[in-house]
Amino acid sequence: MLDDRQTERLEAEAANSAKLRQPLYAARKKIFPKRATGSFRRFKWLVMAITLGTYYLTPWLRWDRGPFAPDQAVLIDLANRRFYVFFIEIWPQEFYYVAGLLVMAGFGLFLITSTVGRAWCGYTCPQTVWVDLFLVVERAIEGDRNARMKLDAGPWSARKLVLRTAKHFIWLLIAVATGGAWIFYFSDAPTLFHDVFTGSAAPVAYITVAVLTATTYTFGGLMREQICTYMCPWPRIQAAMLDESSLTVTYNDWRGEPRSRHAKKVQAAGQSVGDCVDCNACVAVCPMGIDIRDGQQLECITCALCIDACDGVMDKLGKERGLISYATLDDYNANMALAMTGGATLVNPSLVRTADGRFIDNLAHFQLRKIFRPRIYVYTGLWSLVGIGLLYSLMTRNRLEVNVLHDRNPQFVTLSDGSIRNGYTVKLLNMIPEPRTIVVTMQALQGADMSVVGDDIAAGRSFAIPVEPDRLKMLKIFVRQPADQIHGAAQIFTFRVEDKASFESDEYTATFNAPETAR
């Protein structure tokens, strides 16, 4: 047994002890973002107008494809298994084009994040766009930040009930419009619009609208920043995309610290003081409710509204803009080294300024060439390679295809004259919205001829047959070969199809089976 006096006691306590354990889920603290003004906020307005306008208006755009195809510019026609995007028509077997676009989107996301951080999240993510739209409604009805906070903290009254009812009613209208716009991508928009409002649309249309209404209302109006923090995987992935040369929204504490709300008094006392006056304007406008002065955080969506807020304060104080700015980690570290004399002292903003208050010449500033580095070239190259491949495939693809299926049972039939007959199911695929006359020709297989079951086409080695626009035509074809012309139990020959008008053609290599004794 050890004597207790010989054992050192360490001051340690289990992190999950009962008295320290935190609840698994903390109640949400409401965020009341203040309206920001500035260049980044104007850019967000522009992006919101473009993205929402594109989403709501695209199904109503028309594109003339002739009398045999729908005239909706963008249409996902599930019933007929077609995907129309202006002049492009994609069939089910061509879904690799959609997969290619998704791959391009992935590389594009990596490229944007590596260059300017989470710009996708801050400007074009649907969650961000719809939250912005819902906030516009909230501010218009309840007022800006202080008014909303006062209303939320106050007791329920007739005024509060009216304001909250009006806000949530408009939110629901936006959510319904969101779900309604989505279903128009899957059917002719004017027709479906009429059917929905007359109660004659398919049940799946109403179910889809209901589900998207609920998700839009819940995600955009009630959960807001929680979607980005807890449900979206990208905040946890983005760190792998960033490096020392990535542009991110940064608080430049090499010029802001030490912060003080009474700069003149501190300066009069001979103490160092930074440009940050601790006004919390950056925190008030943040839709995620974080303080960018705490450094890069998982919750930051790089919307840059804190830059607008801080620049506005700097303008009022007569100081240079850029206390919060887009900066690279390399530039930030270089400037911090200047302000801390290489790390030997605390931050002293006077070290980065001259006697007349200007910034020193060797201060690091962002230069465009810094973002062009190997990672960016790789992402750009991969993105371009996939895009060029898709474009080349799209421009050179054949819109006429043939597929042949040999009868399995029986594989051949011996006719009364001794000749051998094989049966085939031939599928002619006309992939343009125009009728075609397709010439089907049999190549090789000496002495053989073919006939079409259920059609008065004379037996021969070639025949022409009409194919409807944008349709698959199936033919049952018998190929017969005299016994004295058979040269093996399995002979190879080719079905060739050709459109004489467009000079498009396709071929399929088939096998003609015969008994061993027929040779």
What is the pLDDT, as a whole number, of residue 11?
65
Closest by alpha carbon to 429, among 458, 462, 401? Answer: 401
- Secondary structure (3-state) at 34: coil
What is the pLDDT, as a whole number, of residue 185?
96
What is the pLDDT, as a whole number, of residue 241?
87
What is the pLDDT, as a whole number, of residue 361?
87
Q: Which helix (H) or strand (E) holds 375?
A: helix 374-396
- Secondary structure (3-state) at 54: helix
Q: Which residues of the chain have pLDDT under 70?
A: 1-22, 24, 270, 517-519
Helix axes 203-216, 158-183, angle to 10 degrees: 130
Distance CA 503, CA 47 (A): 45
What is the pLDDT, as a whole number, of residue 13?
67
Distance CA 483, CA 492 (A): 16
What predicted TM-score, i.e. pTM, was given to this entire model?
A: 0.85
What is the pLDDT, as a whole number, of residue 502?
86
Q: Hey, CA dihedral for 219, 225, 229, 234, is it positive or negative?
A: positive
Distance CA 194, CA 135 (A): 31
CA torsion, ordered 151, 157, 160, 162, to nearest 10 deg: -170
What is the pLDDT, as a whole number, of residue 9?
62
What is the pLDDT, as a whole number, of residue 267?
73
Contact 347, 274 (CB under 8 A): yes
DSSP, residue by residue, 178-229: HHHHHHGGGS-HHHHHHHHHHT-S-HHHHHHHHHHHHHHIIIIIIITHHIII
